[in-house]
Amino acid sequence: MVTGSVRVSKNSVAKEDPDSFGRDSSSPSLMLFHDGSALRFSNRQRAAIAATITYVPLTILGALQGLAWAPTRAESVVLDPAMFARFLVALPILILASNTCHSVVKAVARHFQEAGLVKETDRQRYAAIVTSANLLRNSRAAVWICLALACAYSAFFALLVLPRMSMSWRTLGPEGHRSLSLAGWWFVTVSQPIYLLVLLRFLYQMALWWQFLWRTSRLNLQLHAVHPDGAGGLGFLGLTLFAFRMPAFAISASFAGGLATLVLVNGARVSEFRYEIAAVVLLVVGVFLYPLTNFFYRELSRARQRGVLDYWKLNEVQMRQFEKKWIVSDSRQADMLDVQDFSELIDLSSVLGNAKQMNLRPFQRNGIVSLVVAVSLPFLPVLALEFPVLEILKAMLKMVG
C-alpha cells in the first residue's frame, strides 16, 4: 500500500512539472515552491485575486460605516499602513515569489546530481530525500494545519487582543463595550486568515527546504577543495539567497507596516524599536541563510582538510623529484628555460594554495549583502517618518554641488 502511494505521488509530481526530468528517473526534481492550481490561475492572477479579496472589501465595508477615510488616522482603513503593507505588498509578493523560488530550488536539486556531487552509491538515498520532500509538500494535512493555525490566531486576536486595543477602524462603541465593525469582521474572518495561510504555507515550504539541505549534507558528497567556485563545488547554493530576496522583503514589509502604524497612530518613536528592527532583520535573514550552514562543518571543512593533505602530499612528491633531478644530480641542461618542470612545480604549489584558501561557506558575501538589503529596505520609509531624510538628501546634494 505504501509503495503504491509513493508511485502515484511520483506520477502526480511529474504531471505537475512539465520541465521535470521525466525520462531520467535517477534525477528527481524538487518541487517545494511549485503551486499548481486546480482553477489554472497564473501566479499573477492569484496575487491580484488575493490582494482584491483581502483589501478592497475592507475599504468598502469601512466606507459604509464612515471608517474608510475617517477624521482620525486610527479610524481610517485607507490610512492604516499595516493593512497596505500586509495585503497589497507582502501578500502578492509571497505569491509571486513562488515561481522564482521554485525554479532556483529545482535547479539546485538537479545540480547535485548533474555535477556529480552525489556518488553513485548515494543516488538512491538522494532520490528518496527528494521524493520525501515532494510528498510532504503535497500533504493535505499540512495545508489544513496551516489553515487551522491561521484561523486560531485570528480568533485569538478578535477575542483577546482587539477589545484591549485603542479605538480603531476595526471596532465600534465606547471603551469596555466595543464590538467589531463590518470591516473588522472581514479582517478577522477573511483578510487576516488568507494572509496567514499564505505566510504559514511558505514557512512550511522553507522548513522542507531546511530538511532537504540537512539530509543532503549527510550524504558523502564528492567535493573538491580546489574547485573554481572556492567552496568545494557547493557555491551554487548561494544562488538561493538571491531568489529568496522577494519573500524576505515581503515578510519584512509586514513588520515595517506594523511599525509605521505604531509611529503614526500611537505617536511612538522609531528609535524606541531599534532592537526590534535589528531582531527582525536578523531573524528573516537567518530563515534563508541558516540552512546553507548545514554543509559548513560536516562537508566543507572535511573537504578542505582532505584536499589540503592530498595536494600537500602530491606537492611533497613533486618537490623531491624536482630536487633529485635539478639539485642533487646537479643537472646542467642547455635548454633549461624550455623545460616544463619549473612551471609545473609553480602550478601545483598554486593549487595547494587554493586548497588552503577554500571557503567554508557555500555562498558569497554579495549574496548575504543583497539579502540584508532586501530585508532592511521596507524599514527605510518608516525611518523617514522620524528623521528628515529629504532634508538630509538636499544637504548632501548641496555639498556635492
Are the C-beta atoms of 40 and 104 separated by less than 8 Å? no
CB burial of residue 355 (10 Å; 0-12, 13-18, 19+): buried
Mean pLDDT by 10 residues, the chain (401 residues): 40 43 54 68 89 94 87 86 94 93 89 83 90 91 95 88 78 75 92 96 94 88 65 78 94 94 86 91 93 69 52 54 57 52 51 53 81 92 78 65 52
Residue 221 contacts by C-beta under 8 Å, 6 or more apart in sequence?
A: 112, 117, 118, 119, 234, 299
**Residue 315 domain-assigned (yes or no):** no
Grid coordinates 505537475 are at which residue?
Answer: 16
**Residue 388 domain-assigned (yes or no):** yes
**Residue 100 domain-assigned (yes or no):** yes
Distance CA 363, CA 60 (A): 47
Using only C-alpha atoms, the chain has a radius of gyration, in whole angstroms, of 28
**Residue 372 domain-assigned (yes or no):** yes
Residue 210 per-residue DSSP state: H
- pLDDT value at residue 18: 40
Q: How far is CA 202 from CA 10, 182, 326, in A?
A: 22, 29, 65
Distance CA 358, CA 235 (A): 11
Q: What are phi and psi of 176, to 5 degrees?
A: 95, -15
- pLDDT value at residue 318: 55
CB contact burial 299-333 (16+ within 10 A = b; e otherwise): bbeebbeebbeebeeebeebeeebeeebeeeeeee
Distance CA 170, CA 388 (A): 31
Number of domains in the chain: 1
| Structural domain boundaries enclosing 159 | 2-303+361-400
Residue 305 contacts by C-beta under 8 Å, 6 or more apart in sequence?
A: none
Look at residue 180 and give its three-state secondary structure. strand
- pLDDT value at residue 10: 42
CB contact burial 143-180 (16+ within 10 A = b; e otherwise): eeebbeebbebbeebbeeebeeeebbbbbbeeeeebeb
306 closest CA partner among 347, 351, 349, 356 = 356
- pLDDT value at residue 8: 38
Residue 159 contacts by C-beta under 8 Å, 6 or more apart in sequence?
A: none
- pLDDT value at residue 387: 74
pTM (two decimals): 0.78
Grid coordinates 558523502 are at which residue?
Answer: 220
**Residue 21 domain-assigned (yes or no):** yes
**Residue 143 domain-assigned (yes or no):** yes
- pLDDT value at residue 279: 95
**Residue 339 domain-assigned (yes or no):** no
Q: Residue 276: how many CB atoms within 10 A of its CB?
A: 11
- pLDDT value at residue 58: 93
Are the C-beta atoms of 160 and 188 separated by less than 8 Å? no
Which run of H or of E encompasses 142? helix 140-156
223 closest CA partner among 297, 136, 303, 286 = 303
**Residue 317 domain-assigned (yes or no):** no
Q: Residue 118: how many CB atoms within 10 A of its CB?
A: 24
Distance CA 155, CA 247 (A): 26
Distance CA 4, CA 15 (A): 17
Q: Which amino acid is at 114?
A: E
